[in-house]
Chains A and B, each alone.
Chain A
Amino acid sequence: MQVTMIVNDTEVTREIEGRLLLVHFLRDTLGLTGTHWGCDTSNCGTCVVWLDGEPVKSCTVLAAMADGHEVRTVEGLAKGAELDPIQEGFMQCHGLQCGFCTPGMMMTCRALLDKNPDPTDAEIREAISGQICRCTGYSTIVRSVRWASVHEARVNQ
């Protein structure tokens, strides 16, 4: 079947098998390997991307379901050379180690800040609780999101 969707602001059309998962479409068909594949069961969240602006686990979304919709991945987070504050925050606060869960984490955290620009630590923890990081122990991820929140508040002043 043929699918057409907007991925990171660019329209793409591809011929695919109906059963193809969105994560494999992004990684194998489009070569956007920043989105990862970690568990198959929607538990780990390394595959989180946005579907029409909402974080989804792309290992349990068919590529066909994204037909006619808009997808954003970690590759679409920065604006050209300018990093998103969430990306800056993860670097500044050591919010990543191996970097495997990081793209999914950042997509969720960006979505959180878009809805709630000044989240509490508890709200940040709640937002990322559907995702697993095996390296950081989460405190530095919480700090990373706080960093981005504070930074954005300053920029917007």
Chain B
Amino acid sequence: MNRNRYRLLSIPYVIWVIGFTLIPILFILIRALTDDGGAFTLTNIVAIFSPLHRKALIMSLCLAFISTLICIILAYPVALILRGSRIKKKNIILFILILPMWMNFILRILAMQMLISNNGIINHILELAGLSPMNIINTPRAIVLGMVYDYLPYMLLPVLNSILSIPEDVIEAAKDLGSDKFHVLTRIIIPLSLTGVGSGITMVFVPSMTEFVIANILGGGKIQLLGNIIEQEFTVSMNWNLGSGLSVSLMAFVLITSFIFGRNNESTATGITI
């Protein structure tokens, strides 16, 4: 009976969504589809395929893909180990694992920079140990390292949640029906954790694909990702139409890619409540 009236409570939010989510998207679309004079054009959209931009796009795709993959490879065993262990305070371990998320993003990148820069701590230690210093900063490897470091918690959280929430009796039922450990893993645990992995992929792939800060700090500005190019269009070149066009194309790429290999499971991304 009061359902109708309760729906009215969302009016401020609906207005906010229209005003600050939908209209801005409309604006970026308009900018993307027009030139300086305001005439309709597709130049800005297809600009992503120009030789210069294409190189950045491929670099972005590769780095994001590699980072996401490493995150999955690192996170999945953690979830399996935690599930198998008798540690009672699994939630505390989970909490400790994702706590770095609460640390300022820029500071974390900065910390990573101090560790791996040429005169950084790791090289210092290597030197003391009489080993040759490694040269990693300002390479794509450094960017991948930064992305993995930064986004691993975003993969850990949904993957752990989905694996830890598989009921024990489902696994016992599988064993009862004759599954061995490997069979349980491939036929029960992995299929049931796919939604978690999917949202983890979205949460890692989307930001790493559109990254420019990590590339600027750890890549030393030498490696151009699509994010860097877009940022420069807005802050340096001041070609907002081109910047918008590139953003729209980038977003299309992100959505398509994460849909293909992540099935874009945004609803499970809500597992961030602790």
Report whether chain A binds chain B.
no
The residues of B with any CB-CB pair to A shorter than 8 Å are none
